[in-house]
């Protein structure tokens, strides 16, 4: 019995996005759709242990949820009013005739893509988009999202409830944005996926430096998106970036849980399956043509590192050129700081220090630990040991990650003993 | 987590018979599902064991035995590498493979930490270097 129960839950995770997508198209409302989909899950939990898992479980779940929607529409005044308010009654009535369990693949894909755009809609706050995307598209439970983001469960639950209410109140349409709105909306989707990835890759708080499960979730979402929007170069750019970064996951952390920086990593232990996939995705982005976007540029930088067999072989001049391009289209103090590091490697610490010192007045970096950390590194290379030590100590007080703090303090100590 | 789905050979696959157009189309659809779900990392079919060889080790001695090999069920005819969230998900995908007969074995791909203490950093490095070379050769 429990075995079937687990199987139902697993299938639910695999199919829920498609089921919810179909139901949002029908009802026009994410909250309603999720409730109906939950009803279908309960029906499956009741029936499958007796009847066995159907041949096409996803289609079964969707059909069950649709039946439930139609049933409610006929019987429940409030539900009918709600659906009519969303302008969805014709869609629902059209489905009343013969509920077709074998939906066309195209329709499923379209629904999924629309669901992505709803979950990442700009009317929602950034953290809400992240939670809703993991819930609707990733099939994660509220508890799992809370655990991943080290946030209390009620906070996430409330965030999701409020998100559904916001979408409903704003009457956000279930559609793929038109050509004019598309670039900004795609950017919002990519940002959400990359935020999820980064939360796993460089855990911003807590004792752990990496939470690989979140990276895997982000990668899966990215790969799904690439199939839904194969002609968008930046989607492939983002996947390339994530795959290449993820290829270093297992060597980013040392045996004692301490972070190991890119140039100190054992390259033989990188994951070459992911690197190969990343380089292929980058190739796809480049083949689609046009000016490179910020993700494709960052992926190109990551690819420079991935292609270098040893840290010394790194093509730093090309990396500087790529950062120059990135600074043109997506200028930010963080990009500038990274550019400084590359300049330091390509043209020496003096040139880099000039760039870093220009950033000293940057208010957005005032509490950013990597600024003093990079500056400390450059000063150390220039032999200004005492100044370097002060910078590392400052960086240690700024980081929120325990492991990183230990690493920075160790560097400061090593300078003292010299 | 990653799983390797190992497709066991059959008399038919060992005979060198290539899949029919209909079988290929059906497998293509299944692979497409894997890709669309973000599950597929890689996969390939293997030619019959008559095109392979076995290398046996005994101390410093190496004995090479050319294929074909008997006992089709013990041979491998193909594989996938999947990224899934759970053991159950791997099983669910495996159930959906459009085979009419035969067997697939699911094995979880070991991450470095699964080897524990006995897998020293030097060994890890060596192993990964081999993989790196293999990956490099695959590109050429």
Nearest to A362 by CA among A337, A387, A333, A382: A333
Instruction: Assign domain A120-173 to its CATH architecture.
Output: Orthogonal Bundle (1.10)
Average pLDDT over residues A348-354: 95
Q: What is the pLDDT of residue A417?
A: 60
Q: What is the pLDDT of residue A407?
A: 85
DSSP A29-44: -HHHHHHHHHHHHHHH
Find which of B84, B85, B86, B117 to mutate to test the A interface (most A CBs within 10 Å of its CB): B85
Superfamily for domain range B2-109: Dimeric alpha+beta barrel (3.30.70.1060)
Cα–Cα dist B2/B18, whole Å: 28
Give the pLDDT band of residue A96 (cuts 50, 70, 90).
low
Closest-CA distance of chain B to residue A83, Å:
30
Q: Does B97 touch chain A (CB under 8 A)?
A: no
Cα–Cα dist B31/B131, whole Å: 25
From the centroid of its chain, how far is CA B64? Answer: 22
A135-149, A157-171, A235-249, A336-350: least confidently modelled range: A135-149
Give the pLDDT band of residue A30 (cuts 50, 70, 90).
very high
Give the predicted TM-score (pTM) of the model. Answer: 0.85
Give the pLDDT band of residue B131 (cuts 50, 70, 90).
very low
Chain A residues with CB-CB distance to B136 below 8 A? 272
Q: Does A221 touch chain B (CB under 8 A)?
A: yes
**Distance set, CA A246 to CA A27, A133, A213, A302, A304 (Å):** 38, 20, 11, 11, 15
Give the pLDDT band of residue B123 (cuts 50, 70, 90).
very low
Please identify among residues 16-55 of chain B the ones whose CB lies closer than 8 Å to any CB of chain A: 35-39, 41-42
Q: What is the pLDDT of residue A249?
A: 85
Q: Is the pLDDT of residue A116 over 90?
A: yes
Chain A residues with CB-CB distance to B39 below 8 A? 220
Helices and strands (DSSP H and E) totals, chain B:
4, 6
A74-81 contact pairs (CB < 8 A, 24+): A79/A32
Q: What is the pLDDT of residue A203?
A: 57
Question: Which distant-in-sequence residues (6+ apart) come within 8 Å of A271 by Cβ?
Answer: A246, A247, A248, A249, A250
What is the SS3 assignment for B78?
strand
Q: What is the pLDDT of residue A89?
A: 65
Mean pLDDT of chain A: 88
Question: Percentage of chain B surpassing pLDDT 90?
Answer: 64
In this structure, the number of other CB atoms found within 10 A of the CB of residue A153 comes to 14
Q: What is the pLDDT of residue B135?
A: 45
Q: Is the pLDDT of residue A1 over 60?
A: no
Q: Is the pLDDT of residue B130 over 60?
A: no
Cβ–Cβ below 8 Å for B111 and A14: no
Residue-wise pLDDT for A378-398, tens only, equals 999 999 999 999 999 999 999
Q: What is the pLDDT of residue A3?
A: 67
Q: What is the pLDDT of residue A267?
A: 92
Q: Does A227 touch chain B (CB under 8 A)?
A: yes
Residue-wise pLDDT for B40-63, tens only, equals 999 999 999 999 999 999 999 999
Chain B residues with CB-CB distance to A250 below 8 A? 111-112
Per domain, the residue ranges of chain B are: 2-109
Q: Is the pLDDT of residue A204 over 80?
A: no
């Amino acid at each position: 019995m429990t075995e079937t129960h687990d199987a139902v839950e697993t299938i639910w995770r695999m199919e829920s996005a498609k089921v919810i997508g179909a139901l949002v198209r029908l009802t026009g409302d994410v909250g309603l759709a999720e409730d109906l989909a939950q009803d279908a899950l309960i029906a499956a939990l009741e029936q499958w242990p007796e009847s066995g898992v159907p041949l096409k479980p996803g289609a079964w779940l969707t059909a069950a949820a649709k039946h439930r929607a139609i049933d409610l529409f006929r019987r429940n005044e409030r539900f009918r009013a709600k659906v009519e308010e969303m302008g969805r009654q014709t869609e629902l009535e059209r489905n009343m005739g013969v509920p077709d369990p074998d939906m066309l693949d195209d329709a499923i894909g379209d629904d999924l893509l629309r669901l992505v755009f709803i979950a990442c809609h700009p009317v929602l706050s950034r953290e809400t988009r992240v939670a809703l995307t993991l819930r609707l598209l990733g099939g994660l439970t509220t508890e799992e999202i809370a655990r991943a983001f080290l946030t209390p469960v009620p906070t996430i639950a409330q965030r999701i409830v409020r998100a559904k209410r916001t979408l409903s109140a704003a009457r956000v349409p279930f559609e793929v944005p038109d050509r004019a709105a598309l670039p900004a909306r795609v950017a919002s989707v990519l940002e959400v996926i990359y935020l999820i990835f980064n939360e796993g890759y460089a855990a911003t708080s807590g004792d752990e430096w990496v939470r690989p499960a979140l990276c895997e979730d982000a990668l899966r979402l990215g790969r799904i998106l690439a199939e839904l929007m194969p002609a968008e170069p930046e989607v492939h750019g983002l996947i390339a970036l994530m795959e290449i970064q993820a290829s270093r996951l297992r060597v980013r952390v040392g045996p004692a849980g301490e972070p190991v920086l890119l140039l100190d990593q054992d390259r033989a232990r990188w994951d070459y399956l992911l690197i190969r996939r990343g380089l292929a995705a980058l190739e796809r982005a480049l083949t689609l043509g046009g000016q490179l976007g910020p993700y494709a540029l960052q992926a190109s930088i990551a690819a420079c590192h991935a292609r270098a067999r040893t840290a010394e072989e790194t093509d730093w001049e090309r990396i500087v050129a790529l950062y120059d391009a990135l600074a043109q289209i997506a200028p930010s103090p963080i990009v500038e700081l990274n550019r400084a590091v590359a300049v330091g490697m390509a043209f020496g610490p003096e040139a880099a220090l000039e760039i870093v010192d220009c950033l000293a007045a940057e208010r957005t970096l005032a509490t950013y630990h990597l600024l003093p950390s990079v500056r400390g590194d450059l000063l150390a290379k220039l032999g200004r040991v005492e100044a370097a030590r002060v910078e590392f100590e400052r960086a240690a007080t700024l980081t929120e990650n325990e492991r990183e703090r230990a690493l920075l303090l160790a560097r400061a100590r090593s300078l003292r003993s010299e | 987590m990653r799983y390797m789905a190992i497709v066991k050979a059959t008399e038919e696959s060992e005979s060198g018979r290539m899949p029919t157009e209909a079988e290929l189309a059906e497998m293509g659809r299944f692979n497409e599902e894997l890709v669309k779900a973000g599950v597929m990392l890689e996969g390939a079919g293997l030619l019959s064991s008559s095109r392979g060889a076995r290398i046996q080790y005994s101390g410093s001695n190496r004995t090479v035995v050319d294929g074909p090999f008997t006992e089709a069920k013990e041979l491998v005819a193909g594989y996938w590498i999947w990224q899934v969230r759970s053991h159950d998900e791997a099983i669910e995908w495996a159930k959906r493979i459009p085979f009419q007969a035969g067997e697939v074995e699911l094995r979880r791909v070991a991450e470095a930490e699964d080897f524990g203490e006995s897998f020293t950093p030097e060994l890890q490095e060596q192993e990964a270097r081999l993989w790196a070379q293999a990956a490099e050769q695959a590109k050429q």
